[in-house]
Amino acid sequence: MSRSSELYERGLKVMPGGCSRNTILRKPHPLYVEKGEGCYVTDIEGVKRVDFANNMCSLIHGHAHPQVTAVVSEQLAKGTAFTIGTEIEVEFAEHIVNRSPGFEKMRFVNSGTEAVMSCVKASRAFTGRSKIAKVEGAYHGLYDYAEVSQTSKPENWGDADNPNSVPVAYGTPKAALEDVVIIPFNQPEHALKILEENADDIACVLLDVMPHRVGLITADDAFIQTIYNWTRKNQSLLVFDEVITFRSRYGGAQEWYEGITPDLTAMGKMIGGGFPVGALAGRADVMDVMDPLASKVLFPHSGTFSANPITMAAGLVSMKMFDNNAVLRLNKLADYARNSIKEAIKLADVPACVTGAGSMFRIHMKETPPISYRDGFVTLEQSALTKTLLDHLLDDGIMMINTCSGVLSTVMAEKEIDRLTNAVLNGLKKMKNQF
């Protein structure tokens, strides 16, 4: 038995499925890391691979970046968590607020899930309404309300013009489903009709402008403008989930949309410099529902490890390094990656395509890029093809996210992209007869 298989057998005895996060699972057993350095990860069997997963988009500067390691080591010697404030929390908050004109005030939390949860609760507290609207298929974390319909299927998703609210976890309260309005992605007329039917009850519309589960496709200008106008008309809030997409521009992917400023933005992943993190930022009057100094506190908010100095130190130095020049360079490298993958697909002569924007991409086992969740729904046959390609890539020294998605880090260069492209081409050629 390999060291990895032995570890997995031990894990199965003490954890459901043998792990604490389902994303590491693969057959016959997960891989286990020995070390990460730059954009390379070496597993405990001694195999070294290029990391295009970057811990599910959370490592913007790759592994063990010297500047991050230095500030974290310095802070470790001073302490890891306190019941009094730290100067670096204020400094990091100033930096985040200064990255976007739409950020007037902000707070740190511990994960993207918690950031979205806090945005939803703040929206309800500010508007006095209970319902939220979200896009069919979009992933927004573990919160009961935010996860509704992220895994809906043809047998339960209902009419395309009026999608069902479908639970993810068994035992989800019916009341939670009734308070979540599902709208179709990139279909402004249908979305508007659904919103109008619930106009008096919707606290916020929660949007990811390039939802990974939907297909890593960007939201159309017309769709975003329609939703934005509706929220202005109906005194609802517009919440952007930029936990993944904030890396796309210096001030987040919201910069893609001229004249659109969300009321709240949820962030996480890469802003923590490799440590657990979440944050929400936005309009001062909305954020102030959490103000403990107010005469009536509408949303009491706290967290034991929120703004802990380790995360603050790692996050601040990482975000300072991820300046506008770094963002533009990484996006340009991602353009090269997407174009190279398209060329590999063409050379392999298989019905596949690539989507994405900013510094992210996704390979689909279908000829035409999807435009919605239902259009991009992965069939069993397509899922099997995706898994086969992922296995080929892994054998060829490439680590990817399990949807065949990849994200870049600033320590990558064209040589890593070329290695990826060659692996994709080799894998697709081997699979040609399976399409």
Question: For the chain, what is the radius of gyration of the CA atoms?
Answer: 22
34 pLDDT more than 90 = yes
Mean pLDDT of 274-294: 98
Reported as a single tens digit per residue, the pLDDT across 64-101 is 999 999 999 999 999 999 999 999 999 999 999 999 99
User: CA–CA separation, 20 vs 374, rounded Å?
Assistant: 30
C-beta neighbour count of 12 within 10 angstroms: 13
Across residues 369-376, what is the average pLDDT?
Answer: 94
- Based on the domain organization, do 108 and 253 belong to the same domain? yes
Write out pLDDT tens, residues 302-342.
Answer: 999 999 999 999 999 999 999 999 999 999 999 999 999 99
Is the CB of residue 235 less than 8 Å from the CB of residue 286? Answer: no
- 325: buried, middle or exposed (CB in 10 Å: 19+, 13-18, 0-12)? exposed
Residue 15 lies in a domain: no
Within this chain, do residues 194 and 105 fall inside the same structural domain, yes or no? yes
pTM: 0.96
Cβ atoms of residues 398 and 423 within 8 Å: yes
Q: Are residues 296 and 388 in the same domain?
A: no
Q: The domain spanning residue 36 has which CATH number?
A: 3.90.1150.10
Specify the pLDDT at position 258.
96
Out of 289, 321, 353, pick the residue that ends a domain.
321
Q: Which domain, by its residues, includes 362?
A: 31-60+323-434
* Cis bond upstream, residue 28 (ω within 30): yes
Provide the pLDDT for residue 237: 98
429 and 340 belong to one structural domain = yes
Do the domain assignments include residue 22?
Answer: no
Considering the domain architecture, whether residues 273 and 351 belong to the same structural domain is answered as: no
Percent of the chain with pLDDT over 90: 98
Per-residue pLDDT at 161 exceeds 90: no
Query: Cβ contacts of residue 256 below 8 Å, gap of 6+?
Result: 209, 218, 248, 249, 357
Q: What is the CATH number of the domain that holds 106?
A: 3.40.640.10
| Residue where the block lists tokens 């913007």 | 60
- Is residue 42 domain-shared with residue 97, that is, in the same domain? no
For residues 335 and 411, membership in a common domain is answered with yes
Residue 11 lies in a domain: no
Question: Does residue 239 fall inside a structural domain?
Answer: yes
CA dihedral 147, 153, 157, 163 (to 10 degrees): 60
| Closest listed residue to residue 60, CA positions, set 315, 358, 328, 270 | 270
Residues 252 and 398 grouped into a single domain: no
- Please report which confidence band the pLDDT of residue 247 belongs to, taking 50, 70 and 90 as the band edges: very high
- The alpha carbon dihedral of 264, 296, 109, 132 has a sign of negative
Where would I find the beta strands (DSSP E) of 269-372? 278-282, 353-355, 360-364
What's the domain count of the chain? 2
The answer to whether position 5 is within a domain reads no
Domain boundary among 321, 351, 386: 321
CA dihedral 83, 86, 90, 95 (to 10 degrees): -120
Please give the average per-residue pLDDT across 190-202, as a whole number. Answer: 97
Kindly state whether residues 162 and 205 are assigned to the same domain: yes
Does residue 232 sit within a domain? yes
User: How would you classify the pairing of strands 105-109 and 237-241?
Assistant: unpaired
Q: How high is the pLDDT of residue 433?
A: 92
Say whether pLDDT at 1 is over 90. Answer: no
Contact, 162 vs 194, CB < 8 A?
yes
Q: Residue range 254-267: average pLDDT?
A: 98
For residue 23, being part of any structural domain is answered with: no
Q: Taking a C-beta distance cutoff of 8 angstroms, is the pair 431, 350 a contact?
A: yes
Average pLDDT, the chain: 97
Statement to judge: residues 342 and 394 lie in one domain: yes
One domain for residues 286 and 334: no
The pLDDT of residue 283 is 98
- 225, 107: one domain: yes
SS3 of 358, please? coil
Q: Tell me, what's the pLDDT at 56?
A: 96
- Distance, CA of 65 to CA of 202 (rounded, Å): 43
Is 25 a domain residue? no
Residue finishing a domain among 321, 353, 372: 321
E strand or H helix that includes residue 67: helix 66-76
CB contact at 8 A, 378 and 402: no
